[in-house]
Structure 1
Amino acid sequence: MQTRWIRRLLPAATNTRPIEWSRAAIGVSLGTLFSVWLCSVFFGLPVAMHLIGPLGASAILLFAVSSGALAQPWSILGGYLCATVVSLLVVHFLGRDLASACLAVGAALIIMCLLRCLHPPAGALALLVVLADPDSARLGWELLAPVMLSALCMLLAALAYNNLTRVRYPKKHTDPAPAAVVAPTAPGDPGITAEDLQHALAKMDAFIDVTPEDLEELIRTSEHYARRRSIGEVLSQAN
């Protein structure tokens, strides 16, 4: 039992190759540099540097795990917008202190979930907006401008870099197909459709950073390799 508990703490093996790590690392560096630089041009370096933490976290999502549901365009734009608006409202009514910052990040999470734009770095942004440096605090509601400019720059960098390096971004949303994703394996078995996958994801009591399209593709690819393995086993037995 103790060994099993220790194994649960160990990191799972990654399924990406070192060349993909390098591709993502270059994208993260370029995307963050571009976003911070352009923000500093219009709003000054202190304001841009105040936002660099959430931007760096967003860059990792958009370049390293761009297929995830939390890394899609609406997630970063909507997440940054929700976090900033909620935090500025908290500042307006409650002021700038640690308790207000903690309240802001919790409220931002609820709004992001309601609007389906959950983006973890926006939580850090909510804290930074409340506990802002003097240059950022002086902007008041005008802080929305540098925040959204930075988010838009990061998104444009991800769109350009990912697609130029042959990584499809953003994920293409498709309506559930009636055809079975997993064909029936026994009489009376209805099989699994893409719509079934969507319902299953909706029933999970946890945040799952995977789209139904990715899950469907994973199942179809697994079926492909299973068929190849089955054919190989049959041929080896025949010989």
Structure 2
Amino acid sequence: MQNRWISRLLPAATNTRPAEWSRAAIGVSLGTLFSVWVCSLFFGLPVAMHLIGPLGASAILLFAVSSGALAQPWSIVGGYLCATVVSLAVVYFFGRDLDTACLAVGIALLCMCLLRCLHPPAGALALLVVLADPDSASLGWGVLAPVMLSAISMLLAALAYNNLTRVRYPKKSTEANPLVIADQVPGDPGITAQDLQNALQQMDAFIDVTPEDLEELIRASEQHARRRSIGEVFAHDG
């Protein structure tokens, strides 16, 4: 039992190749540099540098795990918007200190869940907006402009770089393409994209996977199962 518990703490196997690590690393660096540079052009380097932490975290999601639900366009744009508006409202009513910063990140999480734009780096952004440096704090509600400019710049960089490097982004919604993804047999209705969506909702937990990812995984699993079955048949005949 103890060994099983310890095994849960060990890192899972990486399912990507070093070539993909390099592709994502270059994208993270370029995306972060681009978004900070654009922000600095309009609002100055100190304000842009104040936002570099959340932007770097967003870059990892958008370039390294771009298929995840937390890395989609509405997640970063909506997440940054929620975090900034909530934090500015908290500052307006309660001021700037550690307690209000922690309150802001909690309320921001609730808003992101309600608007379906959960984006973890937005939590760091909520803290930074409350505990702002003098340059950012002096902007007041105007800090929303550099935040959203940086988010949109990061999104544009991800859209361009991912698709140019043959990584489809953003993920296409499965709701418009409810294909059956399991082989039909007599009496078996198969699995549809809507079934996957319902299953994810039934799990009642934060899961960073889209129904489309599950569809592709099941398709690939079926192909491997067919190859294994054919191999076993040939081995038995031999």
TM-score by length of 1: 0.96
1:12 matched to 2:8: no
Post-superposition offset of 1:193: 2.0
User: One-letter code of the match for 1:181?
Assistant: I
Residues 179, 166 of structure 1: alpha-carbon distance in 2 compared, 3 angstrom cutoff: closer
Post-superposition offset of 1:229: 1.1
Residues 152, 179 of structure 1: alpha-carbon distance in 2 compared, 3 angstrom cutoff: closer
Residues 30, 233 of structure 1: alpha-carbon distance in 2 compared, 3 angstrom cutoff: same
Unaligned runs of 5+ in 2: none
Deviant stretches of 4+, over 6 Å: none
Residues 178, 88 of structure 1: alpha-carbon distance in 2 compared, 3 angstrom cutoff: closer
Q: How far apart in 1 are the matches of 2:59 and 2:10?
A: 25
Please say if residues 174 and 193 of structure 2, whose CA atoms lie closer than 8 Å, have aligned partners that are also in contact: no
User: One-letter code of the match for 1:2?
Assistant: Q
Identity of aligned residues (%): 82
How many pairs does the alignment contain? Answer: 238
Residues 234, 150 of structure 1: alpha-carbon distance in 2 compared, 3 angstrom cutoff: same
1:238 matched to 2:237: yes
Please say if residues 75 and 116 of structure 2, whose CA atoms lie closer than 8 Å, have aligned partners that are also in contact: yes
Please say if residues 47 and 136 of structure 1, whose CA atoms lie closer than 8 Å, have aligned partners that are also in contact: yes
User: One-letter code of the match for 1:67?
Assistant: S
Pairwise mapping of residues 61-100 of structure 1 onto structure 2 (< 5 A)? 61-100=61-100
Please say if residues 176 and 194 of structure 1, whose CA atoms lie closer than 8 Å, have aligned partners that are also in contact: no
User: One-letter code of the match for 2:19?
Assistant: I
SS state at 2:127 partner: helix
User: One-letter code of the match for 1:174?
Assistant: T
User: One-letter code of the match for 2:78?
Assistant: G
TM-score by length of 2: 0.97
Pairwise mapping of residues 32-43 of structure 1 onto structure 2 (< 5 A)? 32-43=32-43
Post-superposition offset of 1:41: 1.1
Post-superposition offset of 1:205: 2.0
Q: How far apart in 1 are the matches of 2:178 and 2:211?
A: 14
Post-superposition offset of 1:87: 0.3
Q: How far apart in 2 are the matches of 1:177 and 1:28?
A: 31
User: One-letter code of the match for 2:210?
Assistant: T
Alignment partner, residue 214 of structure 1: 213
Q: How far apart in 2 are the matches of 1:139 and 1:72?
A: 29
